[in-house]
Amino acid sequence: MVDPLTQIVGLLQPSASVSKLVTAAGPWRLHRTEAGQPYYCVILDGSCRLAVRGHAPITLETGDFVLIPSAFDFTKSSPEPDLPEGLVTMPVQVRPSVFHLGTTRRAADVRMVVGYCAFGSTDATLLVSLLPQLVHVRGEDRLAALAQLVAEEAHASRPGRDVILSRLLEVLLIEALRSTTGPDMPPGLLKGLADERLAVALRRMHEHPTRPWTVAHLAKEAAFSRSAFFDRFKRSVGVAPMEYLLRWRMALAKNLLRRKEGSVAEIAERVGYSSASTFSIAFSRHVGQPPAQYSRGQTVLEFHRAEIAQL
């Protein structure tokens, strides 16, 4: 049985992580504006506050794990409610991959492992849009252990480091995402998969993207009326069923074009289009350029990446 979450994380191609141990004491506040990088944090001891743009601030406690698949603007601080206005603390490097925030005149109040990873997929924005904007998991020892393994591997220079890191990051992402449950879960793929009947329709789309699906066919798979299925799917997943199917087909098509796995006509058939021309029109509308042009652009990009790697 195809697992949509595993497929999406696999297509994201998570790669080598920047991971570090951070300690802090006294009052402190750290503000970050990132270029959409995947960010994660596990609290080893103590507590702190996290404020992510667009979300209510949360208090992180020992054992908590946070994942922001696309981080742009967030603030972490000590848990005191009356921090001085405008306080910004600069981290001080204590030793390689270890940083401290706040005063050094007393023992650390909090220890945490924080890290960033990169997504190799050129379609990362589309894929990340199917995931929650913020994942907060409490009491999952497996996540803390995985984050520690990622940190240890990132700081080592052992053979096979990049391969091990990419696999560990895949496991870390999947474990974090599937640990997100509850009625307050934001709309997205995970909320859809948490609904047993919607999950059937989602899995069918991922198992058989080439079928000529309609809302009526998918509603029948999920044992809903057409209107009830459409409304429930859109509320839970955040997009209409056919929009989700289009995004998934385009993600698959971009991956196949990038890997040069067939002609445009062959790829069109593999992602559910009856002709190359119909596929090209849909692809051009969604991506902004025809499939053949996109494929040539990926060849040039890979060539430049290889040149840079040799410098």
Residues 172 and 194 in one domain: no
Residue of 188 and 199 predicted with greater confidence = 199
* Residue 219 maps to a domain: yes
Residues 223 and 106 in one domain: no
Percent of the chain with pLDDT over 70: 92
Domain final position from 178, 197, 227: 178
Residues 165 and 115 in one domain: yes
Written as one string, the DSSP assignment of 84-131 is PTT-----EEEETTEEEEE-SSS--SEEEEEEEEEE--TTHHHHHTTS
* Residue 18 maps to a domain: yes
* Residue 217 maps to a domain: yes
Residues 80 and 161 in one domain: yes
Find the Cα–Cα–Cα–Cα dihedral 161, 166, 167, 172, rounded to 10°: 120
Inter-axis angle of helices 141-155 and 161-178, nearest 10:
160
Residues linked to residue 99 through DSSP beta bridges, in sequence order: 22, 93
Under the banding of pLDDT at 50, 70 and 90, the label for residue 184 is low
Residues 38 and 128 in one domain: yes
Question: Which CATH number does the domain housing residue 246 bear?
Answer: 1.10.10.60
* Residue 184 maps to a domain: no
Query: Do residues 92 and 30 lie in contact, with contact meaning Cβ atoms separated by under 8 Å?
Result: no
Residue of 120 and 309 predicted with greater confidence = 120
Question: Which CATH number does the domain housing residue 43 bear?
Answer: 2.60.120.280
Residues 104 and 226 in one domain: no
pLDDT of 7 reads 85
Residues 169 and 42 in one domain: yes
* Residue 307 maps to a domain: no
pLDDT of 304 reads 40
Domain that holds residue 199: 189-299
**What tens digit of pLDDT does each residue of 33-68 get?**
877 788 888 898 999 999 998 888 999 999 888 888
Domain final position from 129, 159, 178: 178
Query: Do residues 111 and 44 lie in contact, with contact meaning Cβ atoms separated by under 8 Å?
Result: yes
Residues 262 and 125 in one domain: no
Percent of the chain with pLDDT over 90: 39
How many domains does one find in the chain?
Answer: 2
Question: What mean pLDDT comes out for the span 267-286?
Answer: 94
Residues 32 and 70 in one domain: yes
Compute the chain's Rg from CA coordinates: 22
Domain final position from 133, 148, 178: 178
Rounded-to-integer distance, Cα 203 and Cα 168, Å: 25
Best-predicted range by mean pLDDT (136-145, 181-190, 217-226): 217-226
* Residue 304 maps to a domain: no
* Residue 235 maps to a domain: yes
* Residue 23 maps to a domain: yes
Question: What mean pLDDT comes out for the span 2-27?
Answer: 84
- Residue 185 pLDDT > 80: no
Under the banding of pLDDT at 50, 70 and 90, the label for residue 87 is confident
pLDDT of 16 reads 66
Residues 46 and 163 in one domain: yes
**What tens digit of pLDDT does each residue of 280-310 get?**
999 999 889 999 999 887 754 454 443 333 3
Inter-axis angle of helices 241-258 and 226-237, nearest 10:
60
**What tens digit of pLDDT does each residue of 107-117 get?**
899 999 888 88
Residues 275 and 126 in one domain: no
Residues 204 and 283 in one domain: yes
